[in-house]
Amino acid sequence: MRLLVVEDDPDLRRQLVTTLRGDGYAVDEAEDGEEAEYLGEVEPYDAVVLDLGLPIKDGVSVLKAWRAGGINKPVLILTARDQWSEKVAGFDAGADDYLTKPFQMEELQARIKALIRRAAGHASPVLECGPVRVDTSAATVTVDGKAISLTGHEYKLLSYLIHHANSIVSRTELTEHIYDQDFDRDSNTIEVFVGRLRKKLGVDVIKTVRGLGYRMEHAIESA
């Protein structure tokens, strides 16, 4: 999953980026509203953490521009302002959730996970596909109850596929959603990760759709 963190305070931004990357997300960052608006228009983020008090262009204006342009990615707004009117303005602009500074990082982590789940149509933090079970809150994977050890990139790939189970996901889409902006992206590595995942999972739930990409299916077929 790929996130955008928009915060002008360099210390807080660094803390957010470090924490979220530690959770396994690919994370891009912006320090002002102008850069944030551009990145939100051209990059396919799974969620955005957006401060309202930004230089050049404020967060509410950025969010309004995104929504007016048909960009509906989930947005969690951050604000140091505790007046109810500011929160209402954020929601009226199209925000999905908010946190008022100061906040506990654990709460932000939980809210980001919930936003991503809801955007993909899932209510529970535990996602299942046949015998494969991914607990997104603990970042753990089991198959038939047995714990499976995955690398960071393998987990990111599996998490994205299971969030979009029964949908065809292209190699390009996977590349865009598991790597951050500065990573030297190579879609050929996706095939390598898929091969490793299939071997570790040991069950036939990740299907190749020739010419289109991959689909994680609930029904298991024999190879």
For the chain, list the domains and their CATH numbers: 2-119 (3.40.50.2300), 126-216 (1.10.10.10)
With cut-offs at 50, 70 and 90, classify the pLDDT of residue 222: very low
Kindly tell me if the per-residue pLDDT of 35 is higher than 90. yes
pLDDT at 82: 66
| 171-195 CB burial, b ≥16 within 10 A, e <16 | bebbbbbbbbeeeeeeeebbeebbe
Q: How many CA atoms lie within 13 A of 127 on its CB side?
A: 27
Instruction: Calculate the average pLDDT of the chain.
Output: 89
Output the pTM of the full model.
0.76
Kindly tell me if the per-residue pLDDT of 181 is higher than 90. no
pLDDT at 220: 40
pLDDT higher for 183 or 174?
A: 174
pLDDT at 186: 62
Cβ atoms of residues 127 and 134 within 8 Å: yes
pLDDT at 218: 67
Kindly tell me if the per-residue pLDDT of 39 is higher than 80. yes
Could you tell me how many residues make up the chain?
Answer: 223
Q: Which residues pair with 51 in a beta bridge?
A: 78
With cut-offs at 50, 70 and 90, classify the pLDDT of residue 121: confident
Nearest alpha carbon to residue 163 among 209, 132, 203, 197: 132
- Tell me the per-residue pLDDT of 125-166, one tens digit each, with 9 for 90 and over: 899 998 999 998 888 999 999 999 999 889 989 999 999 998
Residues 6+ apart with CB under 8 A from 60: 52, 89, 90, 93
Q: Which residues pair with 125 in a beta bridge?
A: none
Q: What percent of the chain has pLDDT over 70?
A: 93
Please state, in angstroms and rounded to a whole number, the distance separating the CA atoms of residues 43 and 66: 12
- Tell me the per-residue pLDDT of 81-118, one tens digit each, with 9 for 90 and over: 666 777 888 889 999 999 988 899 999 999 999 999 88
With cut-offs at 50, 70 and 90, classify the pLDDT of residue 221: very low
